């Protein structure tokens, strides 16, 4: 009986370990394949076999393919995404490459937006949306969050009076002290608008 049990355990382990073998396009045994395969087109994978996933498919097979097939027949070479033209940059986006700890370089940045009343008004609206809860409506560091966490910056203090709009943009992007980075939540253009408004609080 002990021999049979050992053989059963050994065979089970061998089968399980055999599934771990992966290489090239073979991911090995997938224990939860529905979590690995995207039903919509996926730009990072290219499964051209229309029968891939037939044993697990939960979609209507009358579409002519099983669940794991994700190639786009309407694009050249069955690509799921088109390659952008050479030497192009996404419209409205320039990468901000100044590192977090290089704020002295950010101080030299010039706001690309004009100081019009419309821009400042938009900056105020964005400030009230993203900044008011910590810094308060007048920038005095007295927002509702400041009641719970001491040390929120007073944007009207003498210590911050001389900071540049580039400095403000940089801190919104990367964060500083208690303030977390907001670069992923606020677009570059909106950060510059907020910087315009913050300077009016001085």
Give the model confidence (pLDDT) of 103-113 as tens digits. Answer: 999 999 999 99
Predicted pLDDT at 33: 74
Give the model confidence (pLDDT) of 59-89 as tens digits. Answer: 666 677 888 888 877 777 767 777 778 887 6
Contacts of residue 72, Cβ cutoff 8 Å, sequence gap at least 6: 41, 78, 79, 80
Alpha-carbon gap, residue 154 to 141, rounded angstroms: 4
Predicted pLDDT at 70: 82
Asked whether the predicted pLDDT for residue 143 surpasses 70, the reply is yes
Among the listed ranges 72-76, 104-108, 136-140, 189-193, which one has the minimum average pLDDT value? 72-76
Contacts of residue 134, Cβ cutoff 8 Å, sequence gap at least 6: 141, 143, 145, 146, 152, 179
Sketch the domain layout of the chain as residue ranges: 29-81, 103-200
Give the three-class secondary structure for 161: coil
Q: Which of 80, 77, 48, 79 is nearest to 65 (CA)?
A: 48
CATH topology of domain 103-200: Cytochrome Bc1 Complex; Chain D, domain 2 (1.10.760)
pTM confidence score: 0.57
């Amino acid at each position: 009986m002990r021999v049979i049990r050992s053989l059963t355990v050994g065979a089970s382990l061998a089968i399980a370990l055999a599934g771990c073998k992966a290489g090239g396009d073979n991911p090995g045994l997938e224990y939860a394949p529905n979590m690995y395969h995207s039903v919509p087109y996926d730009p990072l994978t290219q499964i051209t076999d229309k029968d891939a996933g037939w044993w697990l498919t939960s979609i209507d097979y009358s579409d002519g393919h099983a669940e794991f097939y994700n190639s786009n027949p309407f694009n050249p070479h069955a690509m799921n995404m088109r390659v952008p033209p050479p030497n192009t940059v996404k419209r409205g986006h320039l990468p901000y490459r100044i590192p977090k700890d290089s704020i002295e370089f950010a101080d030299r940045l010039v706001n690309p937006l004009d100081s019009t009343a419309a821009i400042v008004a938009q900056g105020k609206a964005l400030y009230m949306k993203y900044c008011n809860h910590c810094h308060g409506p007048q920038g005095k560091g007295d927002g509702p969050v400041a009641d719970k966490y001491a040390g929120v910056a007073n944007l009207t203090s003498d210590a911050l009076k001389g900071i540049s709009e580039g400095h403000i943009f940089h801190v919104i992007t990367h964060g500083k002290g208690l303030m977390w980075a907001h670069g992923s939540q606020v677009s570059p253009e909106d950060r510059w608008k907020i910087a315009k408004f913050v300077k009016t609080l001085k």
